[in-house]
Amino acid sequence: MLELLRKHGPLSRGELGKHCGLSRTTLYDILAELVSSGAVVAASQQDGPRGRGRPAETLTLNPDAGQAIGIDFARRGLHVAAVNLAHEIVGTASEPHAAGLPWEQRAELAWRLVRTLTGGGLELGALSAIGVGVVGPVGPPLDPEAEAEAHAENDPASGPEDEVPHPVQLLLRERFGVPVLLDNNTRLAALGESIWGAAAGGQDVLYLRLSHGVGGGLVVGGSLHRGAYGLSGEFGHITVDQDGAPCDCGGTGCLETVASIRAVLESYRAAGGRAEDVPELVKATRAGDAPALAVLAEVGAAIGHVLAAVCNAIGPSVIVIGGELAETGAALIEPIERALGAQVMPVSRHRVSLRRATLGEVAGALGGIALVLHESPLLSRYPAGPDLAPGLLRQEDPMNQSRHVTARGAATDGRTAKEGS
Amino acid sequence: MLELLRKHGPLSRGELGKHCGLSRTTLYDILAELVSSGAVVAASQQDGPRGRGRPAETLTLNPDAGQAIGIDFARRGLHVAAVNLAHEIVGTASEPHAAGLPWEQRAELAWRLVRTLTGGGLELGALSAIGVGVVGPVGPPLDPEAEAEAHAENDPASGPEDEVPHPVQLLLRERFGVPVLLDNNTRLAALGESIWGAAAGGQDVLYLRLSHGVGGGLVVGGSLHRGAYGLSGEFGHITVDQDGAPCDCGGTGCLETVASIRAVLESYRAAGGRAEDVPELVKATRAGDAPALAVLAEVGAAIGHVLAAVCNAIGPSVIVIGGELAETGAALIEPIERALGAQVMPVSRHRVSLRRATLGEVAGALGGIALVLHESPLLSRYPAGPDLAPGLLRQEDPMNQSRHVTARGAATDGRTAKEGS
């Protein structure tokens, strides 16, 4: 029910019945419990087009029931975003900091930034959680159950044997008092772009970020794909030249060795160009500087080769290119498009759309929120029946990866989430 | 409930309650409806380890409620498999035929083969469906809703505007009188191997088939991945040589141009070898024939390069190599392993396991069954409440792709599915 209301917005009981196919009795039982728990509120539909008879009562998620917070701990700065449970973005904010700032200070900075964002009136109700992006691989696979259980047991160090909580998870859990879901921040940017950005509504999205590192993420069937061991979307470490330069990952000739900011600037300088950073390169490109265009054409061809391979394997409908290097625009995008045109299977070529990212630096924070909305056990909570002990119950759904429910009592406090920043 | 029982086998009401988190009242309502419909049966647990008190009554799927049939319409032969709803394989069978046999005759052959397989006593009860694999791209994405609706409306030509039913779908629907779900047979082999074969239990599996064509499939989070437009797993059409040979797909230098049976035999003959077919090549390889080993080393390197790229993008736990060319064994597998070792990200290398396929030619038929068990709306059916009209209702689950329920009355006839062939 909560998922249907999250997806469709307000629905009447009849519409909910059509969507879920449950019997009327069962449906009304479930809805009554959700309304009494405060997770769902009923409202008369005043402005429907029908205009006669008694207006149908619609049900909607309770916007006061809590907020979801996303935080992206990037290398040199912090980005935060907040939405209420009606999926309305309450606000976003960013603050740069020195690289290597200790986690304690970054967590404190996050706390202050989030409170600023929400006007100091942060209300993390019963349905809330925090989705956090961090640099580097996150694995073993994210386990929202374990995270929620650790929180429920008030034991910040607990979790499955093979999962060591990230330091920021412990710090934020203590500071905010809610479960903290973690993923790689580039993968979260992929999720953000697929919901609020360039690929909004896309169910199968390939996202590539061209920055100091080259990474990416895959949205598969509307969900973030993590892979069997928490490592996926590593497009930057696909080999493009088996005799190429050594890569930071330990491999040889990875895409990152030719398409990272450093690699591109070095190639440009080797070709006689002068640029200390990406804005200077962008400026040269816009001025039609020949070495800049030649370098970007070569880099774009390598990127397109890798993207075409992944396209043939996965069949996405949208490819999103983000990161600072995407600012070079057509000089980079057109060579990518040419390579895709040559190397994506002919039968698929016209079905894939290549787009520039639109969310900028808050993509990862927004993706953190999407992580919460999609995966938090607290957002799939279902009120407890009399025979269920308090605590978190695991709902195993063999068809669709596991989802979760809590059996804890409702704890909404009726106060309103602040809008705007 | 049906999904839980499919996954876990017999469960008590208390165990079902723990898994699903529903309130006792709701749970018991649902279970009562399922038992009265014949989809689920109750049995006393006689041999539990507890040994005292009244034995807990367990609930299980009704094994008499129907069978699931998988049929693989390969280019030159037919493979069928049948399981009952307890996931027990009733049997498998194959029959070769001339390439290009008309669909009418292939459908009749399938009908005869399935009846032989089930001892003539085929019972396709209310919960049954057929999963069918065919050669070539299947798209737009498989739509079990539309298929089930077309069946319910007894209108074999109906369906969404952009979906033209495959001829064999219409023929089998008429012959067997049940819904027919369709997918590419190589993708279905990937699903079969991930459930019953080399990657049994694997949630993230990459399957490559080296045959007359080079294709494959991806299992992502335990489900077959189809991609945004029904084209995925096209590993054979990933470019390995931008200046290479033209490919049947219209591209240039695809993996298939170097790793198909024809391409490998041609390379072998160009290197001075003599082999008319794969068995002869296998024989030469086992005899240590140098040109054969050299050709397979080169082909394996190209295959490994492509697989490594896909691994870095997707992060599977298992790679399965199937198809006739896999019979060449270590001569091909070891070069693939070497390329994976060099090109999969170092942090991931030890987490990916490379295996030979184990299901042989019935992999696709078994995958067809898995398709039915995973996706058939009839297997997710939920008995109708009094306010629901007969017919199929669509259950939209925004988090997990759509699932379906039927609101039709139960129609099990109590007869037993035949075991063995």
State how far Cα B286 lies from the chain centre. 32
Q: Which of B355, B51, B363, B396 is nearest to A17 (CA)?
A: B396
Q: Is the peptide bond before A140 cis (omega within 30 degrees of 0)?
A: yes
Q: DSSP letter string over A213-228?
A: SEEEEEEETTEEE--T
* B364: three-class secondary structure by DSSP: helix
Please report where in the chains the tokens 């008590």 appear, as a residue. Answer: B12
Q: B21 CA to chain A: closest CA distance, Å?
A: 6
Q: Is the peptide bond before B140 cis (omega within 30 degrees of 0)?
A: yes
Angle between helix axes A330-343 and A290-314 (nearest 10 degrees) is 40
C-alpha–C-alpha distance, residues B353 and B360, integer Å: 19
* A355: three-class secondary structure by DSSP: strand
Mark yes or no for CB contact A399/B394 under 8 Å: no
CA distances from A156 to A106, A109, A178, B75 (A): 18, 21, 11, 58
The pLDDT confidence band at residue B66, using thresholds 50, 70 and 90, is: low
Q: Please, what CATH class does the domain formed by A66-186+364-406 belong to?
A: alpha beta
Provide the pLDDT for residue B377: 41
A contacts of B378 (beta carbons < 8 Å) = none
C-alpha–C-alpha distance, residues B41 and B62, integer Å: 5
Provide the pLDDT for residue B59: 87
Mark yes or no for CB contact B343/A234 under 8 Å: no
A contacts of B8 (beta carbons < 8 Å) = 396
Instruction: Please state which architecture CATH assigns to domain A202-357.
Output: 2-Layer Sandwich (3.30)
Residue of chain B minimizing CA distance to A376: B399
Provide the pLDDT for residue B64: 64
- Do β-strands B67-74 and B129-134 pair in parallel, antiparallel, or remain unpaired? parallel
B contacts of A246 (beta carbons < 8 Å) = none
Mark yes or no for CB contact B22/A382 under 8 Å: yes
Q: B226 CA to chain A: closest CA distance, Å?
A: 7
Please count the helices (runs of H) and the strands (runs of E) in chain B: 14, 15
Q: B34 CA to chain A: closest CA distance, Å?
A: 12
Chain A, chain B: beta-carbon pairs less than 8 Å apart? 270
Candidates B223, B250, B315; nearest CB to A228: B315
The one-digit pLDDT tens for each residue of chain A (421 residues) are: 777 777 777 888 988 988 888 888 888 888 887 787 677 888 765 554 555 556 678 888 776 666 778 999 998 899 999 876 666 677 889 999 998 899 999 999 999 998 887 766 665 554 467 899 998 777 654 444 555 554 454 443 433 434 578 889 999 988 888 888 899 999 999 999 998 899 988 889 999 999 999 999 999 888 888 888 878 899 999 999 999 999 999 999 999 999 999 999 999 999 999 999 999 999 999 999 999 999 999 999 999 999 999 999 999 999 999 999 999 999 999 999 999 999 999 988 888 999 999 999 999 999 998 888 776 443 433 222 222 222 222 222 222 222 222 222 222 233 333 333 2
Q: Are B271 and B295 in contact (CB under 8 A)?
A: yes
The CA angle B182-B188-B194, to the nearest 5 degrees, is 145
Q: Compute the half-sphere exposure of residue A97: CA atoms within 13 Å on the CB side of its CA.
A: 20
Residue of chain B minimizing CA distance to A305: B239
Compute the Cα dihedral for A252, A312, A330, A289 and give only its sign.
positive
More confident residue, A175 or B236: B236
Beta bridge partners of A358: none
Mutation to test the B interface, candidates A226, A345, A380, A388, most B Cβ within 10 Å: A345
Question: Tokens in use for B219?
Answer: 């299992």
Question: Tokens in use for B258?
Answer: 């170097």
- DSSP code of residue B400: S
Q: Compute the half-sphere exposure of residue A11: CA atoms within 13 Å on the CB side of its CA.
A: 19
Residue of chain A minimizing CA distance to B5: A398
pLDDT tens digits, B203-214: 899 999 999 999
Q: Which ranges in chain B are annotated with CATH 3.30.420.40?
A: 65-186+364-406, 199-357
User: CATH classification of B199-357, choosing from 3.30.420.40, 3.40.50.2300, 3.40.50.620, 3.40.630.10?
Assistant: 3.30.420.40
Q: Which ranges in chain A are annotated with CATH 3.30.420.40?
A: 66-186+364-406, 202-357
Mutation to test the B interface, candidates A204, A214, A237, most B Cβ within 10 Å: A237
Mark yes or no for CB contact A374/B313 under 8 Å: no
Provide the pLDDT for residue B19: 84
What is the greatest pairwise CA distance in chain A?
Answer: 76
Residue of chain A minimizing CA distance to B308: A238
Q: Are A192 and A239 in contact (CB under 8 A)?
A: no
Please report where in the chains the tokens 């459908």 appear, as a residue. Answer: B107
User: CATH classification of B2-61, choosing from 3.40.50.1820, 1.20.120.530, 1.10.10.10, 2.40.30.10?
Assistant: 1.10.10.10
**pLDDT tops 60 at residue B201:** yes
Question: Tokens in use for A263?
Answer: 């690699």
Taking all residues of chain B, what is their mean pLDDT, rounded to a whole number? 79
Provide the pLDDT for residue A55: 64
Cβ-proximal residues to B86 (8 Å cutoff; 6+ apart), any chain = B9, B60, B61, B63
B contacts of A21 (beta carbons < 8 Å) = 382, 388, 393-395, 404-405, 407
**pLDDT tops 60 at residue B43:** yes
Candidates A23, A234, A405; nearest CB to B313: A234
Cβ-proximal residues to A298 (8 Å cutoff; 6+ apart), any chain = A258, A267, A335
Q: Which ranges in chain B are annotated with CATH 1.10.10.10?
A: 2-61
C-alpha–C-alpha distance, residues A313 and A194, integer Å: 19
C-alpha–C-alpha distance, residues A314 and B231, integer Å: 8
Q: Are A224 and A217 in contact (CB under 8 A)?
A: yes
The CATH number given to B65-186+364-406 is: 3.30.420.40
The pLDDT confidence band at residue B159, using thresholds 50, 70 and 90, is: very low
C-alpha–C-alpha distance, residues A116 and A133, integer Å: 20
